[in-house]
Amino acid sequence: MAAVVTLSSENFDAVVSSAELMIIDFYADWCGPCRRFAPLFDRAADRHGDIGFGKVDIEAQPELKERFEITGVPTLVVMRGSAVVWRQWGAFSNQQLEQLIAQAKANDFPTAA
């Protein structure tokens, strides 16, 4: 069972570089869609222990918000090592999240972020 790692400017690079593949949820506590998506993200992390899952609270981590140019939440970012390979803003259904995970594992994205 994989745990979702809370990412901060202090641990971000070390955590992300330690995972071959990482899916990161940029969120805010005040965001309704973010709160609805959180349990789906947590359950996906439990089902897919072979990849990393992280969360960034944009209010608590403004440096990471700026670094990744987050303009809306929730935003999902897929990283391979230190490279962003995909990003999308907006809420995801469980089915969409599972499709994204399958694409990420297959490295099957039409274009880089």
Tens digits of per-residue pLDDT, 5-21?
Answer: 999 999 999 999 999 99
102 given a catalytic annotation: no
User: What is the pTM for the complete model shown?
Assistant: 0.93
> Looking at residue 74, what is its pLDDT?
97
55 flagged as catalytic: no
Tens-digit pLDDT profile for residues 20-72: 999 999 999 999 999 999 999 999 999 999 999 999 999 999 999 999 999 99
pLDDT at 110 over 70: no
* CA nearest to 78, candidates 49, 52, 57, 96: 52
In the chain, what are the domains? 5-106 (3.40.30.10)
Q: Which position among 23, 34, 73, 100 bears the catalytic label?
A: 34
In 3D, which of 23, 43, 2 has the Cα closest to residue 113?
Answer: 23
Q: Which of 23, 31, 73, 104 is catalytic?
A: 31
